[in-house]
A and B are shown apart, each in its own frame.
Chain A
């Protein structure tokens, strides 16, 4: 039964045009940034300089893979949460606003089950969106740049690594998969607000506000010691995949914390949804 209800939620979700905004925006962002990389020499010259200083063949490392990773990071950090929150905020609040929630709750489905099915649908969307982000980045980069190894340069995280093409693609795939957890977390946050008696836009804005506030505090040097207490800190762990040796223990710890955070959001959302009145 839950399978059919999940299928129905996905029909609803993917039946709406706004669900596809994120996919379109990713494609546009990838194309724009990668065209800039392709036709504006400045960044490539800088990359080549850094690589050659360390004795690497810059021709080989300024590749589709390097460019895909260079674009993946800002898009995943800035654009992905926006579109996930947009869809997550809609999940229940839009149904309440449109009046379809009253139609659903005239039926003998428990509110907990409905919220759970919505959460599962949100999870599927998060995974699809994160994978689409990875696939689109790789596809557009491959159209504009030659194949080669991966040069991962993330100064904020102290990462400066080079990989052969095979290992590079493996790291890229793992990073994309871990990004799904980030997307699911933002989705869970937006869905939690969507369970309250708020408009869909308010649920989206509240989720993004919490996300950005957490990021701001986490980045402030004064609160450096408190970093592990912020969920956004654990959402950065996917980038550690590009370190020379993947710190699996740290990554799994962060994923576990994100899982617990998501579970807490789901419980708060379910309780809020259970006790509220649904009116026309």
Chain B
């Protein structure tokens, strides 16, 4: 659905995105992570034809954005952090205005979307009277109007309270489940990304430092919890056998490259060491992310 191939963006001398290659498959909820200034928004800007790449290829919905932006964005909806609207106009008029930049949109379709996002009672009020949460719903409404296949969410949770974040998470899952949308979610809220995304890419100083399934991040560092009769003795046996690279905290071992937990258990049983539990340690996305940033 989205493909970036060797994409670079320079602003003067500074490199905002450096040789980024990334693909978001259709039907995924894909997380894009990175610190402020990592290049996420610039990458999204290039996907939407708002920022022109210095080098490389950007394709959205099968169309090259630089050459054929209009076709590439025909089935795309987008929401940005702190969504901006025409505050002196009503929510309805805002939706009308924004939707007509894609195609004439019948009132029936606008009403459908208003009902879907739950803004029915206030849609005729001026946007300047809306709360942050209502603006977020209106932003979602405008993104859904062109009946998108791809939804790009750039920091949609910024400024939301815990209830708002919970609602946003549920909405993203509902959009994916009910409308079958492909969703690209750029966010700082690692816990949210962990709960809703299937895959992620992590950017650091304009470069992609990781892309993979969320499941991979949980085991990415490969630590294994081992409960044995005598941990120190068991670790010594495994180290001498070349089966582990490191151990720590009296309960974790890091198997050597290519070594599976079955081999660890076999060796300990051979050496008559009781094994009560052996399990891969699941890291949180936050731990994984912070470890990546330290590298």
Contact = CB atoms under 8 A, between A and B. Distances in A.
Contact of B86 (A12, A107, A275, A279): A12
Contact of A107 (B81, B85, B96, B98): B98
Interface stretch (B70-78, B166-174, B254-262): B70-78
B41 interface: yes
A137 B26 CA distance: 63
A126 to B, nearest CB: 21
Given A1-B104, A17-B88, A278-B45, A107 B73 contact: yes
Contact of B102 (A15, A108, A279): A108
A78 interface: no
Interface string A106-132: 111110001000000000000000000
B50 A102 contact: yes
Interface string A151-165: 000000000000000
A192 to B, nearest CB: 20
Interface string A85-111: 000000000000011101111111110
Interface string A257-280: 000000000000000000101111
A16 interface: yes
Q: Name the interface size band of chain A.
A: 20 to 34
Given A11-B97, A280-B81, A106 B86 contact: no
A100 B50 contact: no
A109 B41 CA distance: 20
Interface in A1-58: 1, 4-5, 8, 11-12, 15-17
Contact of A279 (B45, B49, B142): B45
A108 B69 contact: yes
Given A107-B101, A110-B69, A277 B45 contact: yes
Contact of A103 (B73, B76, B142): B142
B212 interface: no
A280 B86 contact: no
A8 B98 CA distance: 9
A11 to B, nearest CB: 6
B54 to A, nearest CB: 10
Interface string B81-113: 111111011000100111011111000000000
B185 to A, nearest CB: 15
B48 interface: yes
B51 interface: yes
B89 A15 contact: yes
A104 B98 contact: yes
Contacts of A15: 86, 88-89, 93
A278 B52 CA distance: 9
B84 A278 contact: no
B88 to A, nearest CB: 5
Contact of B73 (A17, A106, A114, A278): A106
B76 A106 contact: yes
A5 B97 CA distance: 8
B49 A277 contact: no
A107 B89 contact: no
A108 B71 contact: yes
Contacts of A280: 41, 80-81, 154
A25 to B, nearest CB: 20
Contacts of A16: 88
B151 to A, nearest CB: 11
B50 A99 contact: no
Contacts of A12: 86, 89, 97
Nearest to A8: B97
B146 interface: yes
A45 to B, nearest CB: 48
Given A11-B93, A12-B97, A16-B88, A106 B48 contact: yes
The 5 closest A-B pairs by CB, nearest first: A99-B84, A106-B78, A107-B101, A108-B73, A108-B70
10 contacts: A5-B100, A11-B97, A98-B84, A106-B50, A106-B73, A108-B71, A109-B101, A109-B102, A110-B69, A280-B80
Given A102-B84, A109-B102, 13 more contacts: A5-B100, A15-B86, A15-B88, A15-B93, A98-B84, A106-B76, A106-B77, A106-B143, A106-B152, A107-B73, A107-B102, A110-B69, A279-B42
